[in-house]
Amino acid sequence: MLLLTNISQLLTLRGSNSARRGRELDDVGLIEDAAVLCAGGRIVVAGKQREILRHPWIKKHKRKIKEIDCANKTVLPGFVDSHTHLVFAAPRLIDFEKRIAGASYQEISAAGGGIRSSVEGVRKASEAKLADGALKVLDQMLASGTTTVEAKSGYGLNLDAEMKSLRAIRRAAKQWPGAVVPTLLGAHVVPAEFKDKRDDYVRLVCEKMVPEAAKKQLAQFVDIFCEENAFSVEETEEVFAAAEKHGLKTRAHVGQFTACPLESLLNFGPASFDHLDNLLEADLPKLALSNTVATLVPGANYFLGHSRFPDARKLISAGVAVALATDFNPGTSPTSNMQFILSLACTHMKMSPVEAICAATINGAHALLMGDRKGSIEPGKDADMAIFDVNDYREIAYWFGGNNCEMTIANGNVVTG
Ligand code: NIG
Ligand code: FE
């Protein structure tokens, strides 16, 4: 049992059975002078300290309770990073320098760089080595306050290497105290050897990778990069249909560089559409009416040196449920730190700190269909929390480039600090 006391600001994010939209994003469920009691890895109660200290459990289990004095710091739910590409062998430094010299992401990709240049390394690497790399990043994430992470394959691009990537995710997850949600991204790009037979590759994804990932329970979601030079809307429909057939949930990268029509994809009820830098006007109300979360990943815009960022204000005003994630990956967003993403959301997308925190916690949880367990500090939910060494929660989005997370708690256990 764990009792957190002397919390100056507790952000509970309480009261959302579904992802927050519009003005619902303006409330972090702030309680001042608060305490939180946890038992068996779950939250028992959270509220004003003077009330919590009178809770009957505290008297009854006095000896079993470990108290953490939060010394007037700020406590919030652990971040839910709902979009990451954790499994790869090496950073992509050549692409980095080419971009600095003026080439664009798409030009580099068309010339054989980009995603394709990570494939050989993953195919050659052992599962253990890939797992080590993933675990190293997961640990950095934990240290910066993230307790739930979605992790995609997507740099193997054949059956063996995609399954190896998913097994590496599972292996890393077993050694990590937070929660990891695995996603098959076999349809990231068409690999070089299928250049002239893309239909065969889509068939491989649908008929081999998806069934195998489902059968071995290696993935919960199937993702696809729906974009010019990656996969078309029709191909995305095929991959979504295969996922549905095998009982896996769907999500997709859409609108990163060009907009595409979303209606036929929305019919599959994807948990999330990610990036959405570009969106057809007609799709905005359709997205707003759906339960699909728009996961914005401004780290990619930052790292590619774009001056344009996703139009978070437009999405929020239209009533779209918005989440924030790192998109940690070697090509477009090599950051593991959600605090930096909050900073970008505020400075470049004009989200308020409150909106950004909602998007990075409870809405991230809903983007992973885990809103009933993660993303808020409420009785019965998993006791995943981050203690920040700041007096005012807005500072979490204000200081940038560092790490003000002092302690992370996952399933009621102190895991850093
Ligand atoms: O989310 N856009 C597709 N996937 C990644 C980039 C992957 C890469 O370049 O390695 C993204 O930005
Ligand atoms: Fe991505």
Q: Judge whether residue 70 has pLDDT over 80.
A: yes
Query: Ligand 2 mean position to 332 CA, how many Å?
Result: 8
Residue 363 clears pLDDT 90, i.e. is over it? yes
Q: What is the mean pLDDT of the chain?
A: 97
- Which whole-number Å values give the CA distances from 6 to 3, 49, 392, in the listed order? 10, 7, 14
**Any atom of ligand 1 within 6 Å of the Cβ of 255:** no
Residue 101 burial (C-beta neighbours within 10 Å; 0-12, 13-18, 19+): exposed
What spatial distance separates the first Cα and last Cα of the chain, rounded to whole Å? Answer: 18
The answer to which of 14-18, 298-302, 399-403 has the lowest mean pLDDT is 14-18
Region 359-376 average pLDDT: 98
- pLDDT of the residue at 251: 98
332 lines ligand 1 (CB under 6 A): yes
Instruction: Report pTM.
Output: 0.98
- Residue corresponding to tokens 């979009």: 83
Under the banding of pLDDT at 50, 70 and 90, the label for residue 416 is: confident
How far is 217 from 235, CA to CA, in rounded Å?
24
pLDDT, residue 87, reads: 98
Query: What is the whole-number distance in angstroms between the Cα of residue 373 and the centre of ligand 2?
Result: 24
Closest C-alpha to 320, from 336, 296, 348? 296
Task: Choose the residue to mutate in 106, 223, 332 for probing ligand 1, maximizing ligand atoms within 8 Å of C-beta.
Answer: 332
Chain segment 236-286, per-residue pLDDT in tens: 999 999 999 999 999 999 999 999 999 999 999 999 999 999 999 999 999
Cβ of residue 300 lying under 6 Å from some atom of ligand 1: yes
Give residue 112's pLDDT.
87
Average pLDDT (295-317) is 98
Q: Check whether 59 has a pLDDT greater than 90.
A: no
Q: Is residue 310 lining ligand 1, measured as CB closer than 6 Å?
A: no
Tokens at residue 170, please? 């599972």
CA–centroid distance, 270 to ligand 2, in Å, is 15
139 Cβ neighbours under 8 A, 6+ residues apart: 176
The pLDDT of residue 417 is above 80: no
Hey, whose CA ends up nearest to atom 9 of ligand 1?
331
Determine the distance separating the centroid of ligand 1 and the alpha carbon of 331, expressed in angstroms: 6
Instruction: Report whether residue 177 contacts ligand 1, using a CB cutoff of 6 Å.
Output: no
- % helix / strand / coil in the chain, to the nearest 5? 40, 25, 35
Q: Is the CB of 330 under 6 A from ligand 1?
A: yes
From CA 123, how far away is CA 120, in angstroms rounded?
5
What is the average pLDDT across 144-149? 98
Using CB atoms within 10 Å of the CB of residue 109, give its burial: 0 to 12 exposed, 13 to 18 middle, 19+ buried. buried
Ligand 1 contact via 154 beta carbon (within 6 Å): no
What tens digit of pLDDT does each residue of 17-40 get?
A: 999 999 999 999 999 999 999 999
Residue 2's contacts (CB-CB under 8 Å, 6 or more residues apart) are 37, 38, 39, 65, 66, 67, 68, 383, 409, 412, 413, 414
> All domains of the chain, ordered by start, with CATH?
2-77+376-416 (2.30.40.10), 79-367 (3.20.20.140)
In the prediction, which pLDDT does 389 show?
A: 97
Closest C-alpha among 8, 11, 1, 12 to residue 49: 8
325-331 average pLDDT score: 98
CB of 359 within 8 A of CB of 28? no
